[in-house]
Chains A and B, each alone.
Chain A
Amino acid sequence: MKQHLGRQSGVQKVEVSLLDGKVDITPKEDGQIEPAGLLKATYDSGVSVAEMDITARGKIVKDASGNLVLQVAPNRSFALVPNDLAKALETFAGTSTRLTIRGQLYKKPAGKKKAESSPPLKLAILEVQSKE
């Protein structure tokens, strides 16, 4: 699995802890890392992903439907799960404030061994680490 993940674009370092099943991925600074690709690469290596958390920095914007998204690059954004933490960030929508957010991007559905397809990943904010 480490080799599978290490071959993904934008991955600088992969650390695997066999004991507790944790995988830490350090992205390269080229911004090419693709979380959905990492999920697929992990499944392809024969391992099931229980959950994926990311720490990302970006701006809060509203998409065409008025939903909040975290825009981490001009061409990359994550739709936010509308939880209390996300609602509290609505005031930052459209501003230039850059937020560093830790959130859950994927969690394996309960009772299923493997995700059926690949639904769009939504970011459930767990913590707002900084506002600049």
Chain B
Amino acid sequence: MKTTKKRLELAVVLGMMIATGALAQILHIAMRVEGMT
């Protein structure tokens, strides 16, 4: 019962983070550079 409640709370928090854009939405950045030694 206690575990279910905790999971539910976690799901709500995660849902809010996604809704507000708090989770990273830029997943990866790759650059090609010149002049590096």
Contact = CB atoms under 8 A, between A and B. Distances in A.
Interface of A: 1, 16, 18, 21-31, 33, 35, 38, 42, 46-58, 72-76, 100, 108
A21 B32 contact: yes
Interface string B1-37: 0000000000000000000111111111111111111
- The secondary structure that dominates the A interface is strand
Contacts of A24: 28-30
A54 B32 CA distance: 12
Interface of B: 20-37
A11 to B, nearest CB: 9
B30 A47 contact: no
